[in-house]
A and B are shown apart, each in its own frame.
Chain A
């Protein structure tokens, strides 16, 4: 009894006051002998024998998160849509739902957000930290032919063996399909397929069909990982009002205009592979950045998101990295030892691989 009391007191001391339900052990999940969640245990089933998808999940989508049209040829996208994407990138994504504090719409299904699935026999719910939700009706109802457009659309689901297939329609055209800014119309139809591989892992495939914009359906494969021993945290995006938009004056072209010429022998000292040390942000970690020199210019590639040309602002600081800046930190010989990826929330360190 004494020991039990001591454990409780020490648990309280060891857990930050802030932790609360953020670090509360999830009940009813399989654990290994040392108490860790067993994420490779078998797929759980509901009493009626269906796969149970319930739980808190993190989507992982390194390739398509930023650009769902990464595999499309330019001519497969309407020219007005390509122009719109360029304009949105010049504005550094100012109109994106995360900046304007609007629901994410169909791109919710392919973005690297946490989501909670609550599964009942006739209805599956998806809950988001931004307080938006999706209802997927499993009662056999058909989608309406002309639904009033909405942010999160209307969804019906069915089981194909162990795969949940969800069809959605009735989205408004206010949201983007990705952070690059690919648009869609109200004619968009979305099909999601969810297959839980084991206790902790799920394969996801989302197909967007919008022939008014894209010549062929866009298939986005991604995955999701179960997040044990934590919870959703409320994140109401417009709490801060327009405060950050007041300072949102930058354009992507600013830094091209202010770029300077850096000597090729200095650029050559930055080339290499850099591995993330500060594990902020969603997605697979640690991330890596490949830095290369080509034709007198510095290029950087972040974990399969594609290669971008950097705009030198000083001999060590380079802009144009998906809206962030990169600063190289060097030793006494001028060779880079690590780099800093500059975010609003601070600098993330990446160490140069030997």
Chain B
């Protein structure tokens, strides 16, 4: 039991030691801070890419119409420093995503929180948000 505690502590220590690298593109160039959006739907595509990863979901809008929405995340390399990978999410997973809408009126937003509907697990959170993988 002692060994397990030590190993767990060392594991957490290693996770926190690495400083993540995130591309700091201007939020204001793409998104409108005054247009929050919260949508739930099944993942159609998860693009594990730099400079930003993207999640696509089929979600119902306020009128009940289903549309495909894209949500922009941090850089794939930055997410990987936090312990996330391309395998952290797959097509078909149902997630609830909160963010702010794109300025150009398209079905895009940034992803501030990503929560798996079935388990409540918070995905792609930063180092201090408590729920690393």
Contacts and interface: CB of A to CB of B under 8 A. Distances in A.
A113 interface: yes
A325 interface: yes
Interface string A229-242: 11001111101100
Contacts of B76: 235, 239
Interface in B19-42: 19-31, 33-34
A279 interface: yes
A235 B17 contact: no
Contacts of B28: 92, 250, 252, 254-255, 319-320, 323-325
Given A282-B22, A323-B28, A346-B113, A250 B103 contact: yes
A302 to B, nearest CB: 12
B126 A278 contact: yes
A233 B116 CA distance: 26
A248 B30 contact: yes
Contacts of A98: 23-25, 51
Contact of B18 (A23, A101, A179, A347): A23
B127 A280 contact: yes
A323 B27 contact: yes
A247 B8 contact: no
A150 interface: no
Contacts of B31: 247, 342, 344
Interface residues of A, number: 73
Interface in A84-118: 91-94, 98-99, 101, 113-114
Contacts of B24: 98, 179, 281, 323, 343
A259 to B, nearest CB: 12
Interface of A: 3, 6-7, 10-11, 13-19, 22-23, 25, 35, 58, 91-94, 98-99, 101, 113-114, 129, 179, 227-230, 233-237, 239-240, 243-244, 246-250, 252, 254-255, 277-282, 285, 313-314, 317, 319-320, 322-325, 327, 342-348
Given A129-B21, A235-B50, A237-B23, 6 more contacts: A230-B17, A230-B81, A233-B80, A234-B77, A282-B19, A346-B99
18 contacts: A16-B15, A23-B17, A227-B18, A229-B14, A233-B81, A240-B47, A247-B102, A280-B22, A281-B78, A313-B33, A323-B28, A325-B27, A342-B31, A343-B22, A344-B72, A345-B52, A346-B74, A346-B111
- List the 10 closest A-B pairs by CB distance, nearest first: A323-B26, A345-B74, A14-B11, A235-B77, A325-B33, A92-B26, A239-B49, A23-B14, A16-B83, A240-B49
